[in-house]
Amino acid sequence: MTVECEKGRRYVNGSIQWIGFAGMGLVVAAYLPQIVHLARARCSAGVSLWAYLVWSVSAAFLLVYAITAGDPVFIALQAYQLVALTCIFLLSRRHKGHPCGVHCGTPATPTPEIVFPSGQPTRNP
């Protein structure tokens, strides 16, 4: 349900606004693993700098629109996206060309040896 304000703008009624904030929570959860991996592993494998640059500019434009529209959910969402996308872009640029062991094809943790009845140890594939 929408309500009209003094300038003729339509706003989402507060009773349904929680759906927007729940969606924003999912966006936060979606970006965090990428940011954490870039920060901890210093690994930029598989990250397209151009895509994140374009998404960052897009988030900035949409933030301006959201502020103009006065929608608190959209403002919060775009502000977070702008920060998250900028972090991903900057960390990816900083660590460009430095893949971690997981992305180089080496396992993150050594696999245990399996010993067959013949007594010959072999690595678990």
pLDDT in tens, the chain (125 residues): 455 555 555 556 666 778 888 888 888 888 888 888 888 888 887 788 888 889 889 999 999 999 999 988 889 999 999 999 988 888 888 888 777 766 666 555 545 555 556 655 555 55
33 belongs to a structural domain: no
Domain tally, the chain = 1
- Which runs of E-coded beta strand occur in the chain? 2-4, 10-12, 113-115, 121-123
**Which residues fall within 8 angstroms of residue 31, CB to CB, at 6 or more apart?**
81, 84, 85, 88
Residue 52 near residue 85 (C-beta atoms within 8 A) = yes
83 belongs to a structural domain: yes
Residue 1 is predicted with a pLDDT of 47
39 belongs to a structural domain: no
Residue 103 is predicted with a pLDDT of 65
Cα gap 43→101, rounded to integer Å: 9
Residue 63 is predicted with a pLDDT of 93
86 belongs to a structural domain: yes
53 belongs to a structural domain: yes
81 belongs to a structural domain: yes
Residue 20 is predicted with a pLDDT of 82
| Domain interval for residue 57 | 48-100
